[in-house]
Amino acid sequence: MITGQTRVFGLIGHPVRHSLSPAMHNELFRRRKIDGVYAAFDVAPARAGGVAAAIRTLGLSGVNLTVPFKEAVMADLDGYSSSAAVAGAVNVVVVQNGELIGYNTDGVGYLRALKEELGADVSGRAVAILGAGGTARAIAAALAADGAVSVTFFNRTMARAESACSALGGAFPGVRFQSAPLAAGAFRLYSPSFDIVVNCTSGGAVETVAGFDVRGLRAGALWTDVNYWMPDPPQLVACAGRGVRIQRGIGMLVHQGAESFRLFTGVPVDGDTVRGVLDLGGW
């Protein structure tokens, strides 16, 4: 039962109506007997500058952030974790002693899922990341910290990819970061060198990524996609047909969601529990 004492959490982004986060967190609150409620707030991108103020004004206890607010909100926070600083983006904001503190759980969520589902050893691997936004940079940072030797960002806006390379290069001097246009020709040129491909692009880039030629990927390469909500992410079928191992985004959602719940409540929860919660909704 929701009362005047119930702590309110939520997801802020655009769009968010497809999100599994409300079902996941609300069921975890119920199971752990926590007096909390979690809702989805679809906020117009033009209102990004008011997100932090809204959290303060409404007395929210914490929020998850998705596109396009992961980067825009950082300037209005009172502090953020080292992982968020390296990624240049936050996907969790927790109110602590009246201050808004940002965290980024995308990288750890992706890495845990990669190891759990595919048993992948990141050390010494060359990685291609499609996209250069907050999620892409968080995943790149996690892979670099775990031993990846190179990361190539493919992005429609080269300046954004170059900025990601510059920021991460300073944090991980032993890793080679480079940028390339998100285009079929560029991917075909570089693809034989990649061990892991991570698609972090949004729906607007589906046709572009679908036009990539994956025949050049080496034997044993992995193709992963963070878009758990997309029914048919580009290239998964093509890669599976060529013997390239694939991974959908639900595992990343599970593990970053578990870490978000811990940050919100101080209560740890494992990935198997979160998977069971999502199964309750028929997902």
Active site residues: 70
Residue from 126, 124, 129 nearest 106 by CA: 129
Task: Give the C-alpha separation, 281 to 176, whole Å.
Answer: 42
Both structure tokens of 125:
């691997």
Task: Give the C-alpha separation, 121 to 147, whole Å.
Answer: 9
| DSSP reduced 3-state for 156 | coil
- The DSSP code for 3 is -
Residue 12, H or E segment:
strand 7-13
Tell how many helices (H) and how many strands (E) occur in the chain: 11, 12
Bridge-based pairing of strands 222-225 and 196-199 is parallel
For residues 105-127, b (16+ Cβ closer than 10 Å) or e, as one string? bbbbbbbbbbeebeebebeebbb
Kindly give the residue spans of alpha helices, DSSP state H, lying in the chain: 21-31, 51-58, 82-87, 106-118, 134-145, 158-171, 184-190, 206-210, 236-241, 250-265, 271-280
